[in-house]
Amino acid sequence: MNLTLKVWRQKGPQGTGPKDKGRMVTYDAPGISPDMSFLEMLDIVNAKLELAGEEPIAFDHDCREGICGTCSLMINGIAHGPDAGTTACQLHMRRFSDGDTIYIEPWRARAFPVLKDLIIDRSAFDRIMQAGGFISVNTGGTPDANCLPVSKEKAELSMDAAACIGCGACVASCKNASAMLFVSAKVAQFAYLPQGQPERYDRVQKMIATMDHEGFGNCTNQGECEAVCPKEIKMTNIALMNRDFLVAVATAGARQVS
Amino acid sequence: MKLESKCPTGPIETRWDRYRFETKLINPANKRKYTILVVGTGLAGASAAASLAELGYCVKAFCYQDSPRRAHSISAQGGINSAKNYRNDGDSVYRLFHDTVKGGDYRARESNVYRLAQVSLNVIDQCVAQGVPFARDYGGLLDTRSFGGAQLQRTFYARGQTGQQLLLGAYAALVRQIGLGTVEMFPRTEMLDVVVVDGRARGIVTRDMVTGAIESHHGDAVCLATGGYANVFFLSTNAKGCNTTAIWRAYKKGAAFANPCFTQIHPTCIPVTGDHQSKLTLMSESLRNDGRIWVPKNKGDKRSAGQIPENERDYFLERRYPAFGNLVPRDVASRAAKERCDAGHGVGPTGLGVFLDFTESIGRLGKHVIEERYGNLFQMYEKITGENPYESPMRIFPAAHYTMGGLWVDYNLMSTIPGLYVLGEANFSDHGANRLGASALMQGLADGYFVIPYTIGDYFGNTKLDKLDTSHPEFTKVKQEVNDRTKRLLALRGKRTVDSLHRELGLLCWEKCGMGRNEKQLKEALAAIPGIRAEFWKNAMVPGSGNDLNQALERAGRVADFLEFAELMVADALERRESCGGHFREESQTEEGEAKRDDENYSHAAVWEYQGEGKAPLLHKEQFTFEYAKPSQRSYK
């Protein structure tokens, strides 16, 4: 099939002067096979650009099997494109029709500045994790793994939340550029497990403080994040996080004493 | 070059304990005087960086991804082995050790493998303490399942995302240290060379992939945890960015390369659909727990799977290997599938595929059980192929997946360059000629959490390291070399994309140095590779500049190194005139077509030493001795 692409091109990082003026550029993508993945389609367009001595469209990708969370494309206004529960790298061209025009843009959020073309800087996510996205255990000295039974139900809920790949689609699709689905997934993963209890309330406070500091917005329960999440992380995690945050604030004094 | 394995002697059960007692300790106040550079943040790199920082060392960690959480360990699906014996099904450290040595076709070092089996116990404890949500039984205890090459259930898992969960555990430990200021993290940074001063690894030269800046970093030791080289085949299950540059540059600086021909072809991947294909997708080996592999008995039978009656199906693994059935090790399963396809029984449009059929287990267990066990894999299969595997069998075919070869290391995980350590898939040490399923995760974490923290201290305790920084002339020299090379790449303005050359190299390696290898084809490959390399340096096209984010340049640098590395891999395959594990020399097989080892002549690691540009590398041999796992013809019948 033959397609037309409208792609965001931006030479340099935001805030570097004249280079950061981006624009949409039109490209033809002829002879695309329905068996190709979306990124393979971009590879073909890029090969043509390269041979013409032009810079290929820069886009982030790595595993191309939907798990590393690197790919980050806004396709026709939807983060990761039209398939539910699917990353852009797992989207296949059979989803499109001959003659389609496809708009491809980067994630857009204040906390995710564009570095080049479709590549953004998501290091804010790492900084939120640094603030508390862990259980403070050093290597060694841990008890036998079966010392700590976890009910199957809780283990499954924890795993549902832990499936987050940190791609940032939730932020990109939220009108407030809120990172609450991402943050709550980590908070919930540990809140469901006994290992996560000792730091439970400190963790939620620290992660939320960093999230706010990084410039992510608040949640207004619209659910765009859940709709586009390639791993189908649920908004119930946000409810859990809000509750934990409330408890954390209310019991802050008491926790310090104990 | 002298290869000293430095393995402790005496009873194998006590070697690691005695080694740890005999190592020099560094007092906590002195640890912060040492800087360690860790390159790569997969399971091995992230766990090493975190553990070393916890001990008090200053750590700098580097990864090419935008975040350490994205290293390719994340894609591992099936599970992680450990000799916990929670199942009461006869497992033990000794049995895991024995299975691993046997699975590797007796081409690994016994002491290393035994240590791996021992610390596998601690690895599971560590991961659970970090909050890794492993699968559990109704009683709340950990669940396990079977994997290839073992007749018991020792594989712990987190749905089909075990690698992701273990990596996020290691990443959590790492970011905790970054937050505490003990690890300085450099994402989107690619290592382009190692700096050796007075014979010791003292630093690296990197490229900032956003600004293009070439920078030097000095340290007291360097740990490479940069993964394997399966992307030499272009099409593999590895992530697009996986590359051999770090270990190849180290090789050219004096780190010997062991067994480069030991590559693993994974039996259960989604078949190639066309020339546009950019990578191959693995379907976890765990699927072979419940899926049955078959092809039509009649050649060229193009009917759909459902139309082929039971008595016209050939469950060839169950037929050939009744004891292990569909759970034979990967090399055996891959070769058996290739043999059937070569004989004209392959399925699908290309004839390069076999069925993986769940009809029987769905009937026996119910669809919901299969969905719970493999739901995400079935979904992934459907996304890629557009076919529903609950209704018709999957089609699968082998693909390049993992590399057992790598930089040679001693018992300390140190390469032949003092101070240069190599961890995880990047080294050669534990899996011999074939890695068992669920053992890569085990090894990566064992190396990072529980081996390197001990062995690196011993090096510091026994070595007087001069103070130096990046103003040392050797740093200036290496930085200049990297700059020159980058300029050379950017000057390429030919008529072929880097990808097309990579594809050409990959196809050549796959056809002549893939699942089956023979002298004639290997010689043909050796003759052809320099031509592709010359074509690259004459006719490749690398647009853009070196001063900003330039993905074409990144690819070009990696492919240039693959073009050099491939020659060593093929030369090693030619040199090893025996079959063992994943290395199948067609000249050396039993009457039944199984791999036939030649222990008399090849019970060694082939260790290659770089001799300079345009010169043949020098072959050294590390002879293996087997005191415990006595070599026998591997049989899974």
Residue A68 to residue B551, Cβ atoms within 8 A: no
Query: In Å, how far is B587's CA from the nearest CA of chain A?
Result: 36
Residue A151 to residue B140, Cβ atoms within 8 A: yes
Is B117 within 8 Å of B44 (Cβ atoms)? Answer: no
Torsion of CA A168, B189, B530, B504, to 10 degrees: 0
pLDDT digit string, tens, across residues B75-89 = 998 899 999 999 999
Backbone angles phi, psi at B230, to 5 degrees: -60, -20
Q: Which residues of A touch B70 (CB under 8 A)?
A: 62-63, 68-70, 166
What's the average model confidence in pLDDT over B230-239? 98
Q: A123-257: what CATH class?
A: mainly alpha
| Confidence class for position B470, pLDDT limits 50, 70, 90 | very high
Residue ranges per domain, chain B? 267-400, 478-596
Is A126 within 8 Å of B61 (Cβ atoms)? Answer: no
Q: Any idea which residue has 């199906």 for tokens?
A: B313
Query: In Å, how far is B467's CA from the nearest CA of chain A?
Result: 29
Whole-number pLDDT of residue A21: 83
Whole-number pLDDT of residue B383: 86
Q: Extract the tokens encoding A196.
A: 């996560």
Is a pLDDT exceeding 90 seen at residue B473? yes
Q: Which residues of B touch A39 (CB under 8 A)?
A: 278
Backbone angles phi, psi at B30, to 5 degrees: -85, -20
Q: Extract the tokens encoding B254.
A: 């004096």
Residue B276 to residue A155, Cβ atoms within 8 A: no
Is A113 within 8 Å of A13 (Cβ atoms)? Answer: yes
Residue B139 to residue A162, Cβ atoms within 8 A: no
Residue of B50, B137, B541 lying closest to A50 (CB–CB):
B541
Q: Any idea which residue has 């003026």 for tokens?
A: A21
Is a pLDDT exceeding 90 seen at residue A81? yes
| Confidence class for position B438, pLDDT limits 50, 70, 90 | very high
Is a pLDDT exceeding 80 seen at residue A19? no
Query: In Å, how far is A16's CA from the nearest CA of chain B?
Result: 11
Is B610 within 8 Å of B561 (Cβ atoms)? Answer: no
What's the average model confidence in pLDDT over B158-164? 93
| Beta strand pairing call for B58-62 and B183-186 | parallel
Is a pLDDT exceeding 70 seen at residue B238? yes
Whole-number pLDDT of residue B373: 82
Is A80 within 8 Å of A230 (Cβ atoms)? Answer: yes
Q: Which of B586, B591, B559, B556 is nearest to B573 (CA)?
A: B586
List beta partners, residue A157. none
Residue ranges per domain, chain A? 3-116, 123-257
CB atoms within 10 A of CB A24: 12
Q: Any idea which residue has 């599938």 for tokens?
A: B337
pTM above threshold 0.95: yes
Give B556-620 as a DSSP string: HHHHHHHHHHHHHHHHHHHH--S-BTTB-BTTSB-TTS-B---HHHH-EEEEEE---TTSPPEEE
Task: Name the residue of chain A whose CA is nearest to B126's CA.
Answer: A142
Q: Which of B590, B147, B152 is nearest to B326 (CA)?
A: B147
CATH of domain A3-116: 3.10.20.30
What's the average model confidence in pLDDT over B332-360? 94
* Predicted-assembly ipTM surpassing the 0.90 threshold: yes
CATH of domain B478-596: 1.20.58.100
pLDDT digit string, tens, across residues B496-514 = 999 999 999 999 999 999 9
Query: In Å, how far is A94's CA from the nearest CA of chain B?
Result: 9
Residue A56 to residue B552, Cβ atoms within 8 A: yes
Query: In Å, how far is A142's CA from the nearest CA of chain B?
Result: 6
Domain B267-400 classified CATH 3.90.700.10?
A: yes
Element housing B459 (H / E):
helix B452-462
Q: Which residues of B touch A65 (CB under 8 A)?
A: 75, 237, 279, 281-282, 380
Average pLDDT over chain B, rounded to an integer: 96
Q: Which residues of B touch A51 (CB under 8 A)?
A: 495-497, 541
Task: Report how many Cβ contacts below 8 Å link chain A to chain B.
Answer: 225
List beta partners, residue B595. B589
What's the average model confidence in pLDDT over A116-134? 98
What's the average model confidence in pLDDT over A43-52? 97
List beta partners, residue A92. A37
